[in-house]
Structure 1
């Protein structure tokens, strides 16, 4: 049984961190009973691409693994930011992976049925821009045929593509799973609907979680495109008007909504790019509550949580998660930061006017 097996996910745990600092240890299945009528839950419906590609660096004849890490230009879906490695596989820790063959602009990469060219070398031997020589349809067909999900050493068994798709996965757009969405299932969504809790989706290109190099990891997350539909914007406006909370399922949803936010808490529909980091001094205009995975200090996901909670509370939560042996990584347990944010405070102030 792999870590992403459904039975394993249904046994997952949930740590709820309340506004007064108390913490509750619950089965994650109790998520259906949480939140209040009128609250709006927003999730990322991006399906995960098979973004790990093995092949040959044509000039040297050496083995190379390319992990697609970001869309370079949304109008041209065949160009990507990528991380490259030499021989090895996911069973080797990412930080111990060998460097790729020496790369040069114009080098060809033969990746199964696909061929790509190195268009640009960034300021790190693993970081490059590449363009597939195939058209869009052939590229996606080649990814489906040859690509595999990006995978790390904490899951030794090979993952299939469906292991990294959430229940609401739709458009193939993410490079790693928007894994907070693994907490959702149709029973939970149905229970929320019965209780008057609204649900909406957006599509965000969730990026990679590790490059294997601390200096490069410090730049994460890379710029990530998103798409927010008019119906989601309308539901957010309605929730704000009645003083209800907007609950983000995952840090990718926080990034997208806050990137599209106006200072008054309204959200712009359409496509955009989430750039920069959300961190301790970031004012949140839309999201009131976030459900996320178990993240470690220093990770970009953890840095984002500093916009929701102060360092003392985050340290207390980390200690509780460690003491309780909560599972980390994308198939792990969940944490709900059920805390007032600047967005919540703005709603409360407006409702008193």
Structure 2
């Protein structure tokens, strides 16, 4: 399946954010915010703290509590292994960077930890491997020897903490849920003082890129999610009072829409989702979306067209390029209000 937004714009290399903003400007909330209104078609430019002015008392902001784990490992012969999705306590789908290996082969890591190649992963680019250890012991091994995945636009290694949101609590994402990165506890407290409510879901992200210009097909790239009863109750209360639901990140949209069905509405849910959202999708839960800026090949752009018309979105992205907004996990943010 091809993303309908592929090659819709060219991203200048100087707009790839390579350094955490707090290293440059002292605070992680010192980024910019572009607001795109799907009803008025207006595009406005602000600093990120304008989010306080943008939200109203009793708006409900939904955050993803998934915590990034160090997902890049090196074998003893310096082959990079990138974790993609946990299958069970000792089995993972992984990307073996730069090569494929046959079933039955063995990967050797530090401390005599081994992994046997079982079969092809859930998609051809991935490989399913079984580690010789599992559970918390394996997670500890990842933290001891792994590093955050570093794509080519990152020119220096940054600490794992740079790839966390301040509110993350449940380890499991192999890449950062970057839409919430700019929030500080100070800013969240200001929102709560205004009367904005906070709710939580969890979705563990898989790899967003498979190398060699291969991008995941979201219809075959399952991710684990959980929407708890407390959050469902918060959303139902907000809906009944005509208050707005704002998702912090495309992961939140995907989790909430996966927990909805036409017969029962939004229900507490947990499991795997391969929900693909595009311009044909009627978004049931979310009124607004806070997200980063996405590359032309990313399926996230298809999800954004469920909120606003594709031409409007791409026009806004051209404005963002002209205004020198920064892309990726250390970059600027975009608040999109859904067209009604």
CA distance in 1, matches of 2:259, 2:20: 32
Q: Check 1:239–1:286 CA distance in 2 against 1; reply closer, same or farther (3 A cut).
A: same
Partners in 1 of 2:260 and 2:286 — Cα distance? 10
Aligned to 1:77: 89
Match in the other structure for 1:67: 82
Residue 124 of structure 1: how far off its partner (Å): 7.2
Q: How does 1:174-253 map to 2 (within 5 A)?
A: 174-214=173-213, 216-220=214-218, 222-253=221-252
Residue 122 of structure 1: CA displacement? 4.5
**8 Å Cα contact 1:69/1:80 also seen in 2:** yes
Query: TM-score normalized by structure 2?
Result: 0.88
CA contact (8 A) 1:68 1:175 kept: yes
Matching residue of 1:94: none
* Cα deviation, residue 135, structure 1: 2.5
Supply the distance in 2 between the matched residues of 1:80 and 1:206 (Cα, whole angstroms). 14
CA 1:256 to 1:125, structure 2 compared with 1: closer, same or farther past 3 Å?
closer
Which of 24, 29, 39 does residue 10 from structure 1 map onto? 29
RCO greater where, 1 or 2, for CA within 8 Å and sep 6 or more?
2
The runs of 5 or more residues in structure 1 that have no matched partner are: 57-61, 86-98, 342-353
TM-score, scaled relative to structure 1: 0.85
Question: What is the SS of the residue equivalent to 1:318?
Answer: helix
Per-residue CA deviations over 1:24-66 (Å, capped at 9, x if unaligned) read 100012212221112110011111010101114xxxxx53111
Give me the CA root mean square deviation.
2.0
Q: Quick check: 1:68–1:83 contact (8 Å CA) kept in 2?
A: yes
Residue 54 (1) aligns with residue 74 (2): yes
2: CA distance, partners of 1:197 / 1:171? 23
- 1:5 offset after TM fit, Å? 4.6
State the 1:8 CA deviation.
5.6
Residues 5 and 12 of structure 1, relative CA distance in 2, 3 Å threshold? closer
Q: Deviations over 1:151-200 (max 9, x none)?
A: 11211110211110110010101110000011211122112211211101
Aligned partner (choices 24, 39, 58) of residue 38 of structure 1: 58
Q: List, as ranges, runs of 4+ consecutive aligned residues in structure 1 with deviation greater than 6 Å.
A: none
Q: Show structure 2 runs of 5+ residues with no match.
A: 1-16
What's the offset of the Cα at 1:112? 2.3
Secondary structure of 1:271's partner? Answer: strand
Following superposition, the deviation at residue 107 of structure 1 comes to 1.4
Equivalent in the alignment of 1:90: none
Q: Secondary structure at the match of 1:26?
A: strand
- Residue of structure 2 in register with 1:112 after alignment: 110
CA distance in 2, matches of 1:152, 1:2: 9
Provide the C-alpha distance between the structure 2 equivalents of 1:27 and 1:227, rounded to a whole number of angstroms. Answer: 32
**Separation (CA, whole Å) in 2 of partners of 1:67 and 1:233:** 34
Q: SS of the residue aligned with 1:254?
A: helix
